[in-house]
Structure 1
Amino acid sequence: MKRSIGNATRYTYLFRNKSVAVLLTAVLFTMALLPHAGTAMADKANFSLYVDKSGNITLPDDFQLSMIHLGSWFVPEGEASGFHNVYTEPETARAYLKTGKFPDGATLVKELRSSAASNYTTGKNVSHATSDVKQWFVMIKDTKGRFANNPVWGDGWGWALIKTDSSSRSVTADYRTECLPCHMPAKNTDWIYVEGYPMLSKPDR
């Protein structure tokens, strides 16, 4: 009788040890995953001031003061006519000059302004930008593919078109159909028309 109880006790003890071992393995496995999950969460949280955890892109406040002017395009006619002024962070320009690549988290803002023309001492029919802003384009460089299932992220960038009636909300739904076709000729320069941005080229001396 005592022996049977002893066997039963010993059996139960071994069974419980096995359960503890399985539980310990699960805990260790979970703990091993936590640093990776934490890194991913922290990576998104610290990625960009202009991107939330879901990948929504907003227009930087006062970017004309906090960023540098890379260059401008002038479109004389059509719906997109006017001055297209492009800005980025100073550290982005410095990184590009050093490596020839846009760094992770780099921000590009293109502001479209209407234009007017008049005669000045510098010449006739001289065009200049006005206070009328048409819209903004914002691109955020993502070298890690953080938002793989988000249709406004891909090919190394986040893509946003922001209208003047809602400067905090992008109206872009799918970058592949709405953005990429216009950037296709610049595919070999990371989808950016860098020839229009003299700040990204070291001057010949």
Structure 2
Amino acid sequence: MITGERERMMKDDGLENNGACVVGRIMPGARYSHEAYGERFYRADILACRASGITDIIPLMVFEKVADLERGCPDSIIEVIGQFRSYNRKEEGKSRLELFVFVQGIRYLDDGYVGCGNNNLVCLKGFLCKAPTYRRTPLGREIADILLAVNRPYGKSDYIPCICWGRDAVLASRLDVGSAVEVTGRIQSREYTKKLSEAEEEMRVAYEVSVCRMETVDVQRG
């Protein structure tokens, strides 16, 4: 399925403000997360392949009516549709932003499915909630980090880190806090080392949207 078709599919499902569609291999180890309003929720991970062949491990949150991942089929190829959400987790008196795809639909694909292109798409419309960080790599590549606040119903918001490249990075560097933008890209994972003390370090995984297209939005358009 090409990218344009996936974007239209997400809009048809009412995901214009925040839509994610990922195809990949469900990894073993689905586990119970919590229960809310009588629904049981499970955590799982999906292994998604980039066009370059590099893989990303993307966390999922799935409620039982969509798929019973406690008895799921590890190594199945699936397509998930939902929203890329955040949760501010309190840990030892500190806040830690957790990111995941909140799954609203699953389609199981044939075992023979092959493809590493257009398998990971996220579309977001939101507001810059902190000043962009612009920099150049030693090779001269322009990069900008932004934090996007994406509104949900009932007064809630998701806070999504995004990384912009080239022209989009230059555009981002000129925007003010509160600017409204639409971004299209892919969810990516990367490992980093967190220094806990002078003698202790911990390997962690960060998740962000790698932006392939960004446009400013007239607030009057919503």
Task: Bin the TM-score by the shorter chain.
Answer: under 0.3
Could you say which structure has the higher helix fraction? 1
Find the structure with the greater CA-based Rg. 1
Compute the TM-score of the two structures, normalised by the length of structure 2.
0.25
Compute the TM-score of the two structures, normalised by the length of structure 1.
0.27
